[in-house]
Amino acid sequence: MKKHPLFFTKFFSAFKLKKLNFSFLLSPFSLLLFSLFAFLPLCSLAQKASVSKAYNYFITKDFVKAKEAIDLCIQDEKLVQKVQTWLYKANIYFYLANQEYDAKRENNLYQALFPDAAVNAFDAFVKTKEMNKNAEAYDMLSPNEGIAKLYALLLVYGVEDLIAENYERAKEVLAKAVASYELVSPPQFPLYGELYYYFAYSFEMLNDVENAEKYYNKAILDGSNNVNVYLRLIENFKRDNNSTKMIEILDAGKKSLPGNPALHVAEIDYYYFTEDKPSAISLMDNLPASVFENADLLVNVANFYIIDTNYTKAYDLLTQANRLMSNNFVIFYNLGVCTYYLAEENSLKANQLEVKGENSSALVYKTKTNDFLLEAQDYFERVHKYEPQDMNVMFTLRSIYARLESPKYEEMDAKIKAVEK
């Protein structure tokens, strides 16, 4: 930062008005003319572009007014050509972005008034650097200083775009964050792979697999402790049918994050993928205790049991997942699948016992069949509220209503026919 005496615009008011004869202004028309001529200079003064005004607002930390003032300068055909204008804009937007971030940290409900401030600051610093890389001003960041301090803010806004599924926008913002992060090596505050992880994820969502893999690997090199980095790479290699790369990343993850339950589940998936079912079952029979504390992992393991048609095991795990994460329609759907097929299994046993003449034993299984059907009905009805147009759910519910002889059968049948038209 350059250090030199502050300068301020001085305003003088040491003059006195002489007494004048205003009798000529008595007519309405004259009054109107006077009002117009008196008002016009004030309007032009308010709209006049001034870098000094922007600077003064900046020094007093009134960044909103500083922004308004510097925006006028950017619109001025002469001032926009000056490096000073761009350096001021970069700093004003930088501190404005930080001010808004602080407000957001204090109040989660705060809505940013200038969500693009960090991006505008970055672009203005780059523009300044292109015009004069040595540009500086009192109490302001130089271009390189400013660029190198922006990556954390840019990461925050980039992730917000990812959450909103604005993947192209997220990629653009995070690209600037990466440029900021990599300007100084090592960075002042390491992010341990998080920036690269989200940048890679934006590429993945845009089907740019090559760049996604590149930045997932950079996340690992940056010291990432985020298991999702390894999981995303494994999933990408799985889509490419590259089992060799899958096991390489899996082993690297287990070495970096020993005992991580998500990697234990990923290894089960790997063995299913390579059709090594005995190894998969062995891992499923020896789940670490931490798996039972994570609803998502329980759902994943339950899915393996569903693949194996072991609906009892799957049902037990999903019931635990439901206790950990209530009102999750994915869990409801899978519980609906399990209870539907458990009803089928018990119905089959009941029929087999009836054929043998063991009617009393058959009645037990008939009761279980009915109970499971009622439970399946409840789960699929909850899912139907979330996904009212899902035909698989609607067909399954119609089947359940028919077996339970429910009056809801006609209503669901009518819904299906309406959708099919």
Give the separation between CA 114 and CA 364, rounded to whole angstroms: 66
Give the pLDDT of residue 44. Answer: 41
For residue 42, being part of any structural domain is answered with no
Q: What is the pLDDT of residues 293-303, one digit of tens each?
A: 999 999 999 99
Confidence of residue 420 (pLDDT cuts 50, 70, 90): confident
Output the pTM of the full model. 0.80
Give the pLDDT of residue 110. Answer: 84
Give the pLDDT of residue 9. Answer: 29
Give the separation between CA 178 and CA 137, rounded to whole angstroms: 26
Please state, rounded to an integer, the average pLDDT across all residues of the chain: 89
For residue 344, being part of any structural domain is answered with yes
For residue 237, being part of any structural domain is answered with no
Q: Of 92, 124, 149, which marks where a domain is finished?
A: 149
For residue 335, being part of any structural domain is answered with yes
DSSP-derived secondary structure letter, 79: G
Q: Which residue has the higher pLDDT, 16 or 142?
A: 142
Residue in 339, 344, 381, 387 with CA at minimum distance from that of residue 365: 344
pLDDT at 121 over 60: yes
Give the pLDDT of residue 1. Answer: 53
Q: What is the pLDDT of residues 42-74, one digit of tens each?
A: 444 456 899 999 999 999 999 999 999 999 999
Give the separation between CA 421 and CA 292, rounded to whole angstroms: 45
Q: Which residue has the higher pLDDT, 11 or 207?
A: 207
Domain count, the chain: 2
Q: Of 120, 149, 178, which marks where a domain is finished?
A: 149
Give the pLDDT of residue 12. Answer: 28
Kindly report which listed range (9-23, 179-193, 203-217, 407-421) carries the lowest average pLDDT score: 9-23
Kindly report which listed range (28-32, 148-152, 256-260, 393-397) carries the lowest average pLDDT score: 28-32
Q: What is the pLDDT of residues 26-44, one digit of tens each?
A: 344 343 433 443 444 444 4
Q: Which residue has the higher pLDDT, 187 or 37?
A: 187
For residue 284, being part of any structural domain is answered with no
Please report the DSSP string for 283-337 in residue order: HHTT--GGGGG-HHHHHHHHHHHHHTT-HHHHHHHHHHHHHHSTT-HHHHHHHHH
The answer to whether the bond into 186 is cis (omega within 30° of 0) is: yes
Give the separation between CA 233 and CA 256, rounded to whole angstroms: 15
For residue 70, being part of any structural domain is answered with yes
For residue 360, being part of any structural domain is answered with yes
Give the pLDDT of residue 188. Answer: 87
For residue 209, being part of any structural domain is answered with no
Give the pLDDT of residue 47. Answer: 66
In this structure, what CATH number is given to the domain that contains residue 361? Answer: 1.25.40
Give the pLDDT of residue 39. Answer: 44
Q: Which residue has the higher pLDDT, 107 or 121?
A: 121
Q: Of 131, 149, 167, which marks where a domain is finished?
A: 149
What residue numbers bound the domain in which 145 lies?
Answer: 50-149
Give the pLDDT of residue 342. Answer: 98
